[in-house]
Each structure stands twice: as C-alpha cells, then as structure tokens.
Amino acid sequence: MTETLASPASTDQLPQRRVLANGIVVLVKPNPTADIIAARLFMRGGSGWETAEDAGLTNLLAALLTRGTEKFSSLEIAEQVESVGAGLGTDSATDYMLLSLKTVSADFASLLKLAGEILRSPSFPESELELERKLILQNIRSQREQPMAIAFESLRQLMYGDHPYALPGLGTEESVAKLDQAQLRAYHQRHFRPDNLVISIAGRIDIDEAIAHIESVFGDWVAPSEPLAQLTLPAVSTQPSRIQQEQPTHQAILMLGYLGATVSDPGYASMKVINAYLGNGMSSRLFVELREKQGLAYEVSTFYPTRLEVAPFGAYMGTSPENAAKALKGLHYEVKRLCDAPLSDEEVEATRKKMLGQYLLGKQTNAQVAQVYGWYETLGLGLDFDDAFQAQLEQVNAADIQETAAKYLQKPFVSLVGPQEVLTELESVELA
Amino acid sequence: MLNGPELPEAIRLDNGLTVIHKALPTPVITVDVWLPAGAIVEPEGCDGVAHFLEHLIFKGTERLAPGDFDQLVEAGGGLTNAGTSYDYVHYYCCAAEGQLPQLLAGLAELLLAASIPDHEFERERQVVLEEIRQYEDDPDTVALAALWAAVYGKHPYGRPILGSVESLEAQSSESMRQFHRSHYRPEQMTLVIAGEIGRDRALELAEQCFGEGRSVPKVMAAQAGDAVAIAPSAKPKPPLVSTELGGIHRHAIKLPTVEQPRLMLAWPGPGIDQAETAVGLELLTVILCGGRLARLVQDLREQQRWVQDIDCDYSLLREGGLFTLTAWLDEENLERVEDRIRHHLRELASQPISGRELERAQRLLNNDFAFSLETSEQWADLLGYHQVVATLPLALAYPQQVLQWTPDALQALAQRYLSPEHYTAMVLLPEGKD
C-alpha cells in the first residue's frame, strides 16, 4: 500500500552523516545485500559559475580529471580502474561536479585513494587537453542530430537569456576552442577544497570503516583560510518568445517552457504535483489526452528539475507534420487549463500517491541511494528532504495548484523544430 | 561470486503457467510476465505485429476500460511497462506488496482477455506510426536497423521490430486478436515474482490471478484456423545468414541530419544454444572496446585520435548473434580506421592475449553482472529472459562461464568468428555533403 511506499524516507533509514575536521561531509547508507559499494563525490561549483566566454569549462575539467595527476598518467589511472573491473567516472552539472565510483567491496579502499589523487592533484596535461577538446567539439556537433536536443537547447536559451542557466553544459564551439590550462587551474584552485566536498556512499560498508578510509585519503587536506566563494546570479529577466528551427525531420518537435518555482518557493510542491499530473507515467494527463485519446504522439511528457534558482518547467512532444498545429494547440490547452480550473480532489490524491511511490522506486540501487542523498546534501536541502517534501505534499490542495499554475504557467516560451512547411503553418498558431 | 545467489525453480501450475519466485530483501516487488511471442513469430508481411500487440494489450478488456490498469498501478504508487524484442515480449509492474493482488489480477486480465476494440486499434496504430517516425529521426537507430537488415536479409532478425507503415496498415483489429489468441495462452507464459514476498504467497497469487478459477473472464479459446495462420513452423524460416556469401559486403546510407559519420562492421555469431561461446565473444568486445585501455579505444581514439568514440557489442539472440563494431568519426578517416580495425582483428587471431588483459575483461564483466542484480526488476528480467529464451540455469551460470575462458581459447574464437576478410560494413553519411 502507499503507506508502505512512503516509509523508506522515514528517518530510521536515512544515511548516517558526519562532518570531518576539514569540512568534508560524509554520508553512509550501509546495505549488506550484495558485495558492492557505490560512491558519489560531489564538489560544489558547476556550470552555474560559467559565462558565455568560458562555457563548458566545468565539463572540460571533469573530463580531464581522469587524464593525469601529479603522480599518474592517463594510462596509469585507467590501469588502476580497469584492472579490477571497477567503474570511475566524472561528470558536471549546473551546481556541482561529480566523481562516481562503483566497486566490489574489496577494491573500494584502493579506488577511493585514486579518487583522492584525482580530485586533489590533477595536472591537466596539454596533450590530453587537446584530445578532450577535440572530442567535446565533435560531441557538440553530434547534439545537432537529435531534434529533441535542438529544441531543448534553444528553449533554454530563450528562457534564461543572460543567466548562466542558458549556457549549454558542453559549452559552445567558440568557447571550447579557447579554454586553456590556466583557466582549468584557476577553477580547480577555487572550487576544489575539502569544505566544498560531499562524499556519499551506499553498499557493503559501515560508517566507521568509511570514515577511516576517507580520513586516510582526505584527512590531511586543509581547507584554505579564505572563505568559500559565493555565487550570486543575476535575476532572470526574459519575456516569453518563440523560436523555430528548420530541420528535415520526420516528426515536428513541440516544446513549451515556463520559468518555474525555485525549491524554496512556497509553490514548489504544487509545481511538482503539476509536473507529475501532466507528464509522469501512462496515467498522466498529457499521455491520456494527447496520446491515448488522440493518437498524436508516441513521446509526450513534462520536465521540472529541482533547482536552487528559477527552474525550467517544460511540456513537449514529437508529432507528425500534418498533426503539428492540432498537437501544439492541444499541448498548450492542457497546461493552460490548470490555470483556469481546479483539479478534482481525486486527481490531486492520485497524483500524490503516484509521487510517493516514485520516491521508493527511485532509490533501489546503491548508486541511486548515494546519488539522491549526496545531491540533497550538496544543494543544502537536508537529508530529510524527502520527509519534509512529503509533509509539504500532504498540505497541497487543488486551490494551491491552480494558484501556482496561474502564477507560473500563463504564457509559454515556445521552441519548435521540424520541416519548413510545418514551421510556416505553426507561425499562425497563437498561444495566448 | 562463485558461491553467489541461489537459482530459484520454475514451477508449473495446472493451467500450464510457469511461475518463478525469487525471494529478495527489496520492498519493491516486481511481477514480470514473459512470452516467446516476439517479432520472430510474426508471419511474413506482418512486421511489427508483436510490438503493436504489446501496445494494444494496454487497451483493456471487456471489464477494464483503456487506461484503467495504468491508473490502478500509478495511483497506487507503482509503475508498469513492457518491451518487445525478436525472441520475447514481456510485461511488468513494480509495486509494494500490499498493491500486488490487485495489480497481478489486472495484469493477468489484460494479457489473457485483451479485447482490442476497433477504435482503440485505429488510434493506437497512429501512436506506433509516431514511434516509427521518432526512430527515423535517430541516425544511430536507422543505421543499426539497416545493418541488421543487411546481415539477416529475409530472416525475421532482419526485420524492424516496430514494423513499417505498410505492414501496420495491412493489419486489422481481427488479425491482431488472432495473433493474440495464438500466442498469449497461459502455457506460453512465464510469470516471475521477485522481491520481499514468501513463496507460498507468491504461488497463491499466481494461482488466483492466472489459474483456472481466476475471478476474471475465461481465456478466449483458440479458434480454428489460428494455428495455421500464425504458426511460424508452417513454413521454414529463411536461413539466418546466407553462408555462400564471402568477402566484405559494403552498404552506405545517407541522412540529411547526420553531423558525425559512423562506420559499422558486423560478424554473425552463435545463438543462445552456444551461450558459452557468446560469453567468449563478449570478452572480446571488452578486449577491443571496454575502457580506455582496450585495444581499439587506445589506438584509434587515444593515440591516433581518428575517432570520436568506438564501441563494440555482441547481441545474443536465440537463433544467432551479431558482433558489431561502431566508430563515430570524420569522413576522411573512414578508410584508415577500417584498416586499423582489421589489423587488430588479425592480431587477435594470430597471438593470444595476455593473462592480464584477460583478467581485466573477466573482472569487468563479472562486476557488471553483480551490479546488474540489485533490484527486483533486474532479477525478474534475468530470470524471465532465461526461462523463455534459453534455460533457467543459464541465468546464473554467467560468472562461471566468464572465468572459463583462456587466452588460447579466445584466440581460436577470434579466428573462427572475427574474420578481417569477411564481414558486413555499413557507413552512415550526411546527405548531400560529398
């Protein structure tokens, strides 16, 4: 029952949390079931700190971390990871940079040691920098093969304007061409420090064992005396507008975007309900109305990621050219409808239960557990964020939802991709 | 790893349904029904029917309106989905224990008593046509489908699983109902129940929901003519791969949206009856492309810097497998990359790999295996697949099979299957740019 589903977020099952003397936050969720350990090392920072000139710097840095340190070459690092069949990867996001580890328990200590070397003493070798630059530039071009990616990229730029959230995580061809070692070193110097690090672990390990390993690798890392840099982002000051891009595709991609509530906004929980109600699963409103009842799409959904800053809310679908006008009107109608009329209590309740169930479904693997709690900690949301959010969710009613919709979902930013004839036809579709 | 998890037994109920129960300490329970009714059983000219039926199953029965089941699952906090491949189709739900009786009864009802209403049939066909259009806009999917078609020709493995506009337009709601009656009987089904639930309770639920006395409408009896129209054995299948063809078979496709050309090379290999050989070929995929130290990655991406990426895969199907190499590269590098790949294949065939290289590949595959058995959904997937496509004991034999390979045996395997002189090559290029 749903009661059972909600329980894993209760406090007795939260990971244990310790803060080391140098400021590192350690989270451990023991799970003896299998002989494996997953770890996520979050370094705060991320592409939110970038400008148009250095867009892609965090991504490049993440890629280069495993390509050379003071002690090891790229090949030696690969040797240490691959010889034991482990996984070690790096990634960058808007608000942080991530190092992920998965190992069998016996190899964990040695892989953590390597992770320490990678985070603390990367050397950014010139030759590796040139290779990664080339690979990233190719990757940027490859993105243009995916109509959904093209539509999303443009939508984000429209919505965020001069704000760093507008920048593509990979960077642009212009910015990536110019990134250099000095910028990488400065970025590392500024963000990579123990009091900016969260280490989240799940698997066959207990907290004392984990702390002992972490102390031996990171214990002598001293936080610099200057305070951590604080990021102040400009306000988002864009107005809804529309972009159309011609592509010789079989489907037209229709995407509506709205500037949504931040995680600390009172409308946050309502907006999460709206997202789940409209776009989450086969019982969701868009799926039922546009796919099941009208056959207009295979993929139709929404997104609303949790962000400290203004978060994007989007609704999108792919549809055949001859249905594009009807589909665009239908997609917009379903969002607009939430501003104009309240949901029924049954709809709110069913959506709430769907969301509660998904919290359990989203924390099944060790990697998922390490990721979710590490991310809560990194964003400063607190480990009990699930509980707090569920309490918020209990309070949300149909009137709150309509009020939130009316506040955020009035007029969309619109991003369309498809053949020229379709775009011409869609120009006359007014979404007021 | 070797004294790893225990293999559950397959239990046959009176009505023919096979049940596999796997006890796991996971609060999320998965029920997963597997059927051998994938694309391989489609009659000629009916490409895509197995996948289309997978969509239509969710359109309800006499007692369940379309969408009722989705609502039941999701409003209770669970999820449901399905997948169609060449050798199988499966339908699953993940949910908490308390929700199970309702969900399993609903799932059984859908599978055994699908009504496929005419108007739902028409509308859902539009959805599948949208799915086809979406895949046509993905260059990797298009190239892979073309490669499989080139290798397998008229054998069902050469068909698109989604079918085509023509093959789907040729269907009627009645032909779909007929396909359903022929292939969705309890004796053709395997139900896996995995998670924190006792064996007796699991079997009791299976009996209640799928058994003779189930409280839902009776299974529709097969009608005269069904078997003849549908049975794949009515006509011998074309050979998997034409054996008289030697040499290098070259194909090229051009798409307007391609930014980065691909080079794909493919070699046919053994099917599930030689699972151990397939594991050997999987080890070779790791030797060639599994990680930065792997031979092709090290040479072509790290040293020469001729490719953006290179990947290798062994797709194992019941009747045969396909060893595929894919490189993402600029057009001017096509020829020399293919030459280097052939050079590396010659090397694999002429000298044994080092013990170190072998051990690395073995550890990687066995660690991946351990990491793929964390959730009840993953377990249900592993057990259901093996029961329906292979044999159940094979499900857990994998780590042991990985360890059995030696450098000499892998060298012989490369000689036998990965000829540098005989393969199919597919190039994907931008349209109008050469």
Q: Report CB contact under 8 Å: B125, A35.
A: no
Residues A211 and A255 in one domain: no
Residues A191 and A292 in one domain: no
Residues of B with Cβ-Cβ distance to A350 under 8 angstroms: 71, 74-75
Residues A155 and A25 in one domain: yes
Q: Which residue of B has its CA nearest to A82?
A: B360
Q: Which of A4, A131, A145 sits opposite B27 (nearest CB)?
A: A4
Q: Classify residue A236: in a domain, yes or no.
A: no
Residues A121 and A267 in one domain: no
Residues of B with Cβ-Cβ distance to A356 under 8 angstroms: 77
Among B367, B369, B402, pick the best mutation site for testing chain A contact (most A Cβ within 10 A). Answer: B367
Q: Residue B258, Cβ neighbours under 10 Å: how many?
A: 20
CA distance between the termini of chain A: 42
Task: Name the packing angle between helices B355-371 and B394-404 (round to 10°).
Answer: 160
B9 at interface of A, judged by CB pairs closer than 8 A: no
B253 at interface of A, judged by CB pairs closer than 8 A: no
Among B97, B121, B126, B262, pick the best mutation site for testing chain A contact (most A Cβ within 10 A). Answer: B126
Region of poorest pLDDT, from A118-127, B9-18, B168-177, B238-247: B238-247
Per the DSSP assignment, residues forming a β-bridge with A418 are A246
Residue B3: per-residue pLDDT: 55
Closest chain B C-alpha to A318 CA, distance in angstroms: 7
pLDDT higher than 90, residue B220: no
Residues A195 and A322 in one domain: no
pLDDT band of residue B154 (cuts 50, 70, 90) is confident
B196 at interface of A, judged by CB pairs closer than 8 A: no
Residues of A with Cβ-Cβ distance to B380 under 8 angstroms: none
Q: Which domains does chain B have, with CATH numbers?
A: 10-234 (3.30.830.10), 248-430 (3.30.830.10)
Q: Report CB contact under 8 Å: B259, A366.
A: no
Q: Report CB contact under 8 Å: B368, A85.
A: yes
B360 at interface of A, judged by CB pairs closer than 8 A: yes
Residues A300 and A390 in one domain: yes
Q: Classify residue A224: in a domain, yes or no.
A: no
Q: Which residue of B has its CA nearest to A147?
A: B137
Q: Classify residue A107: in a domain, yes or no.
A: yes
Nearest-angstrom CA–CA distance, B209 and B298: 54
Residues A147 and A184 in one domain: yes
Q: Which of A218, A251, A284 delimits the end of a domain? A: A218
Residues of B with Cβ-Cβ distance to A331 under 8 angstroms: none
Q: Classify residue A256: in a domain, yes or no.
A: yes
Closest chain A C-alpha to B149 CA, distance in angstroms: 21
CATH number for the domain spanning A269: value is: 3.30.830.10
Residues of A with Cβ-Cβ distance to B328 under 8 angstroms: 138, 142
B354 at interface of A, judged by CB pairs closer than 8 A: no
B118 at interface of A, judged by CB pairs closer than 8 A: no
Backbone angles phi, psi at B179, to 5 degrees: -60, -40
Query: What is the strand order of the sheet B321-329 is part of?
Result: B248-255, B423-430, B262-269, B321-329, B307-316
Nearest-angstrom CA–CA distance, B129 and A94: 36
Residues of A with Cβ-Cβ distance to B293 under 8 angstroms: 75, 78-79, 82
pLDDT band of residue B140 (cuts 50, 70, 90) is very high
Residues A82 and A43 in one domain: yes
Residues A375 and A310 in one domain: yes
Q: Which residue of B has its CA nearest to A103?
A: B367
Residue A359: per-residue pLDDT: 84
Where do we find the tokens 């042991």? B400
Mean pLDDT (whole number) for B171-186 = 96
Q: Report CB contact under 8 Å: B259, A142.
A: yes
Q: Which of A218, A253, A287 delimits the end of a domain? A: A218
Residue B375: per-residue pLDDT: 96
Residues of A with Cβ-Cβ distance to B138 under 8 angstroms: 145-146
Per the DSSP assignment, residues forming a β-bridge with A25 are A19, A198
Mean pLDDT (whole number) for B140-146 = 95
Q: How many domains does chain A have?
A: 2
The tens place of each residue's pLDDT in chain A, 432 residues long, gives 333 333 443 334 899 999 999 999 999 999 998 999 999 999 999 999 999 999 999 999 999 999 999 999 999 999 999 999 999 999 999 999 999 999 999 999 999 999 999 999 999 999 999 999 999 999 999 999 999 999 999 999 999 999 999 999 999 999 999 999 999 999 999 999 999 999 999 999 999 999 999 999 999 999 999 999 888 888 999 999 999 999 999 999 999 999 999 999 999 999 999 999 999 999 999 999 999 999 999 999 999 999 988 999 999 999 999 999 999 999 999 999 999 999 999 999 999 999 998 888 999 999 999 999 999 999 999 999 988 999 999 999 999 999 999 999 999 999 999 999 999 999 999 997
Q: What is the pLDDT of residues B76-86, one digit of tens each?
A: 999 999 999 99
Residue B227: per-residue pLDDT: 42
Mean pLDDT (whole number) for B276-303 = 97
Residues A167 and A254 in one domain: no
pLDDT higher than 70, residue B393: yes
Among A292, A294, A348, pick the best mutation site for testing chain B contact (most B Cβ within 10 A). Answer: A292
Residues A257 and A213 in one domain: no
Residues of B with Cβ-Cβ distance to A104 under 8 angstroms: 367, 370
Q: Classify residue A390: in a domain, yes or no.
A: yes
Q: Classify residue A85: in a domain, yes or no.
A: yes
Residue B5: per-residue pLDDT: 81
HEC string for chain B: CCCCCCCCCEEECCCCCEEEEEECCCCCEEEEEEECCCHHHCCCCCCCHHHHHHHHHCCCCCCCCCCHHHHHHHHCCCEEEEEECCCCEEEEEEECHHHHHHHHHHHHHHHHHCCCCHHHHHHHHHHHHHHHHHHHCCHHHHHHHHHHHHHHCCCHHHCCCCCCHHHHHCCCHHHHHHHHHHHCCHHHCEEEEEECCCHHHHHHHHHHHHCCCCCCCCCCCCCCCHHHHHCHHHCCCCCCCCCCCCCEEEEEEEECCCCCCEEEEEEEECCHHHHHHHHHHHHHHHHHHCCCCCHHHHHHHHHCCCEEEEEEEEEECCCCEEEEEEEEECHHHHHHHHHHHHHHHHHHHHCCCCHHHHHHHHHHHHHHHHHCCCCHHHHHHHHHHHHHHCCCCHHHHHHHHHHHCCHHHHHHHHHHHCCCCCEEEEEEEECCCC
B293 at interface of A, judged by CB pairs closer than 8 A: yes
Nearest-angstrom CA–CA distance, B41 and B38: 6
Q: What is the pLDDT of residues B186-213, one digit of tens each?
A: 999 999 999 999 999 999 999 999 987 6
Closest chain A C-alpha to B234 CA, distance in angstroms: 34
B84 at interface of A, judged by CB pairs closer than 8 A: no
Name the nearest CA neighbour of B294 among B304, B286, B305: B286
Q: Classify residue A189: in a domain, yes or no.
A: yes
Q: Classify residue A346: in a domain, yes or no.
A: yes
Q: Report CB contact under 8 Å: A82, B293.
A: yes
Q: Report CB contact under 8 Å: B136, A250.
A: yes
Q: Residue B313, Cβ neighbours under 10 Å: how many?
A: 17
Nearest-angstrom CA–CA distance, A279 and A301: 4
Dig out the tokens for A93 from the structure: 């996001």
pLDDT band of residue B241 (cuts 50, 70, 90) is low
Nearest-angstrom CA–CA distance, B46 and B159: 10
B291 at interface of A, judged by CB pairs closer than 8 A: yes
Q: Report CB contact under 8 Å: B67, A292.
A: yes
Residues A301 and A415 in one domain: yes
| Host domain of residue A270 | 242-427
Q: Report CB contact under 8 Å: B291, A141.
A: no
